[in-house]
Amino acid sequence: MDPICRIKLLGGLQVWCRGEPVTRFRSRRTVELLAYLACHLRREHPREVLIELFWPDCDLDAGRHSLNVALSSLRKELEPAGVPAGSVLRTDRFGVRLVSEAVSTDVGAFEAAVRAAAEAPPHGDQRASRLSEALALYDGELLPGHYDDWVVPEQQRLDELHFQALRALMGQLRGQGDFEGALRLALQGARANGLREELHREIIRIYLDAGRVDEAVRHYRELVRRLAQELDLLPSAETRSLIDVLQSENRPDPRPEPPTHPHRAIAVEAALPERGELEPLGGAMPLGSRFYVVRQADVEFDQAAGRRDSIILLRGARQVGKTSLLARGLQRAREAGFRVAVSHFQGFNAGHLESAEAFLLALAEDLVEQLDLDISPSAEWNRTRGPNPNFRRFLRRDVLERLDRPLLWGMDGVDRLFDAPFATDVFGLFRSWHEERALEPGGPWAALTLTLVYSTEAHLLISDLNQSPFNVGTRVEMYDFTREQLADLNRRYGNPLRSEEDLNRFHGLLNGHPFLVRQGLHALTSRPANLAALEAGIGAGDVFGPHLRRLLMLVEREPPVRAAVLSVLAGGPCPSTDLFYRLRSAGILSGDGPRSARLRCSLYELFLRENLQ
């Protein structure tokens, strides 16, 4: 059937329903919610995930209300009179999605054209046609002017798809001898991707292939000038080698003398990583990432897993890299012969958190699916037995006694359980497995290693420490990057920080905050910016803008939090122990206690001093 709604996301959001434009939405947050659902069209989104993403500062009840209001408003716009309810926007008590058969998006069409080009014969007209179609669909950056945490990685991903499609079509035209067509595309791409050096290399190659040597030299000289002026860099060795072709013809070397740079402690000649080699930011890092920094916590985790400790407690502030470390630790355990599972509590629906029964049954189903066991936990569940005995029996008889290898089970996002009404019972269950293992060393519990990943100070939220797994496990603490780790990561990015002075300034600004360090190095590598420009944009929130705006909202939302941060900014202590630990877990403060509290990094301090009124 023809789609009821058409949504344009590239170059700016536009929506049509049955051919009529939708021009008014209730709020900017409603627009962003629609854009998110449209960008991830074929996925159902748990309500709790949407609340955390779009109303992170609200408690759960207020967040549910805000989401319901936004969905009601969207339904009125997307399903006007004559459109059956639920035909465009499908909701239930657990999840939300747009009906993919009723909605078309330019992002979906663009990605489909790119996929079709990749599947077409490599040098035929069909591939060129699909590439041209993809380029025509790309009408600009995804959602310009929107910089939420989820938007920026999507902007980068789609921009990279567009760039690779552009390069592929240029290469095909060049291979066919259509130098004018290839050059037209290349110059068009250069206008949109100013200092992507690999694109300028293509332009120089096309000029040389077409015999237009003087224009190749002029373009190279202009590139040298712009790189020196805007990035304080020289062209890479690969780009310079193109001009060496001219020397073989006994022509004068057209390369100008390298510009004088104030800092040479780290050679600027090292080639930057191509933008295609950079990784999208946000979320866990890919297992094979060359940008992953091994820290002491990695070593301690591997040692605890190798000893098959009963409980591993992996704790660190928000955005310190816990999920990425867990993924690598589990992979190494898998390679060492463990059976491995990981349960992400953030993905559980509200219904799963209504009771211990619902939660433990969902946890059992999740574990069975990951281990590919031919078991139906719900069929074996005896409602008269109680949730904890049911789960204990399931785990012992149906999982541990069936496995021929030890099981390493990661539980990520455990913080989500702390506010659940059944938290004490469930954490007591986890603790009991540790104690049963001690009482029965050769029993099935010896085959289980449980990893709990969390940010919150557990001792503040669990009143009965005898029911807590958080005071019996092996503790693995994650900390921000050291200066040496920053220097190592800088080298992997191609040394965008070109001197010891730059490294010290950058480390002083971010204090090793892992997410911000990667975000900053990514920006310095992939866009026309240097460290001074990065620092100058702090007030405007350029590179770090979405992150800093979210920080400001978190601080301003609650008067006690705001007062605590203002006290620390003024050089005083954090007013209470509970607030200190809460803000340290959130990654806003650092220190050993309320009296030594300080902002996590200078960037936070500079931004909050200027913006916290």
Average pLDDT over residues 187-213: 80
Tell me if 310 sits within 8 A of 451, measured CB to CB. Answer: no
pLDDT digits (tens, 9 = 90+) for 103-117: 999 999 999 999 999
Q: Which of 18-22, 530-534, 581-585 has the highest mean pLDDT?
A: 18-22
d(CA 582, CA 586): 6
The percentage of residues in the chain with a pLDDT greater than 70, rounded to a whole number, is 88
Among 72-86, 306-320, 465-479, 508-522, the least confident range: 465-479
pLDDT at 529 over 70: no
Residue 487 to residues 286, 289, 520, Cα–Cα distance (Å): 21, 17, 13
Task: Give the model's pLDDT for residue 303.
Answer: 92
pTM score: 0.57
The percentage of residues in the chain with a pLDDT greater than 90, rounded to a whole number, is 36
Among 286-290, 322-326, 533-537, the least confident range: 533-537
* Domain edges within the chain: 5-106, 118-247, 296-477, 489-611
Which regions of 261-334 does DSSP assign to beta strands (E)? Answer: 311-315
Q: Give the pLDDT band (50/70/90) at residue 367.
A: very high
Count the Cβ atoms, other than its own, within 10 Å of residue 436: 17
Task: Give the model's pLDDT for residue 465.
Answer: 52
Average pLDDT over residues 576-589: 86
Task: Give the model's pLDDT for residue 602.
Answer: 92
Residue 173 to residues 159, 180, 215, Cα–Cα distance (Å): 21, 9, 19
Among 48-52, 61-65, 150-154, 426-430, the least confident range: 150-154
pLDDT digits (tens, 9 = 90+) for 371-417: 988 888 988 898 888 999 999 999 999 999 989 899 999 999 898 88
User: Which residues neighbour 525 within 8 Å (Cβ) at sequence distance 6 or greater?
Assistant: 272, 273, 275, 278, 493, 494, 496
pLDDT digits (tens, 9 = 90+) for 121-144: 877 788 889 999 999 999 888 888
**CATH for the stretch 296-477:** 3.40.50.300
Task: Give the model's pLDDT for residue 352.
Answer: 87
Residue type, 32: E
**CATH for the stretch 5-106:** 1.10.10.10
Average pLDDT over residues 503-530: 86
Q: Give the pLDDT band (50/70/90) at residue 52.
A: confident
Q: Is 377 exposed, middle or buried (0-12, 13-18, 19+ CB in 10 A)?
A: buried
pLDDT digits (tens, 9 = 90+) for 5-15: 999 999 889 99
Among 32-46, 58-72, 210-224, 240-254, the least confident range: 240-254
Average pLDDT over residues 230-243: 72
Beta-ladder partners of 312: 451, 474
Q: Which of 186-200, 311-325, 447-461 has the highest mean pLDDT?
A: 311-325
Residue type, 261: H
pLDDT digits (tens, 9 = 90+) for 421-450: 898 899 999 999 998 887 887 789 999 999
Class of domain 118-247: mainly alpha
Average pLDDT, whole number, for the chain? 84
Tell me if 5 sits within 8 A of 104, measured CB to CB. Answer: yes
Task: Give the model's pLDDT for residue 179.
Answer: 87
